[in-house]
Amino acid sequence: MDTRTELNQMAAQFLRQLEERGESFLLLEDVNLADYPGTQVDELKTDIASGEAPAASVSGTRPGESLEEFGARIASCTGCILHESRTNFVFGAGDHGADMLFIGEGPGAEEDRQGLPFVGRSGQLLTKIIASIGFTREEIYIANMVKCRPPGNRDPRPDEISACNGHLLGQLDLIKPKVIVTLGRFSAGYFHGSPGAAMRDMRGQVGEFHGVKVVSTYHPAALLRNPNWKRGCWEDMLLARKVYDQEGGRTSRGEVYRPGG
């Protein structure tokens, strides 16, 4: 298949997704893209010309689809090179209607083996962090930017994050959280619109992504390597809980940890 044919098929799939979401669409073979300046079709033309994958900002969910159905449908994704070495597609876990959503960067070895997010050493620490602000893991939802393990636990690459964008946005559409807590600088940079920014420049801020409040903190794996960052993480989590309560999040089963209380 030549590049032009592949890009046309990819673009047609994107526009069909728009139709499924109730948005206006036109199939590429039926139109001249130059006739539609300033529209989504025109933006798509730019993506095709650059060779980049389109629809990074468009959710891949279907009308009436549940989170479980969405996860099952995309579990065989081959959108990037990471699928070649995965054991399991790690979609996410937790309350499907959670008001608080934690988003890390990518699965590690144990996550890849079990098909669940944050089940290794960093996952054990995350469970304690979540409990410190009154929640159990069953009350929140946990996911990652990319759903397949990067080899050697390396950082996810921009093209891999882009390939998984529709999956991530689909989760946001279906869960509808009130607060997103990002874990690590890659997820923080994405949700704050500042890719490549230092973690210190994104912590302590309340951002907003598609109408949802965003608070960022260190990845638990980074805390295991740098225990002196735990105080900063605690401050971030108190901020996240404050925003959660301000946004009308449901009452948690536990209470916020108070040292010496």
Written as tens digits, the pLDDT of the chain (261 aa) is 554 444 445 555 554 554 555 443 333 333 343 433 333 433 333 333 333 333 333 568 999 999 999 999 999 999 999 999 999 999 999 999 999 999 999 999 999 999 999 999 999 999 999 999 999 999 999 999 999 999 998 999 999 999 999 999 999 999 999 999 999 999 999 999 998 899 999 999 999 999 999 999 999 999 999 999 999 999 999 999 999 999 999 999 999 988 764
19 Cβ partners below 8 Å, 6+ apart? 25
Domain with CATH 3.40.470.10 in the chain: 88-246
Enter the pTM of the model: 0.78
The CA distance from 60 to 141, in Å, is 19
Strands (E), the chain: 93-94, 100-104, 141-144, 179-183, 207-209, 212-217
The CA distance from 226 to 37, in Å, is 51
Q: Which residues of 64-102 are buried (b: 16+ CB within 10 A; e: fewer)?
A: ebebeebbeebeebebbebeeebebbbbbbbbeebbbbb
CB 26 within 8 A of CB 44: no
Q: Which CATH number fits domain 88-246: 3.40.720.10, 3.60.10.10, 3.20.110.20, 3.40.470.10?
A: 3.40.470.10
Give one word for 115, left, alpha or beta, with left for phi > 0 and alpha for psi -120 to 50: left
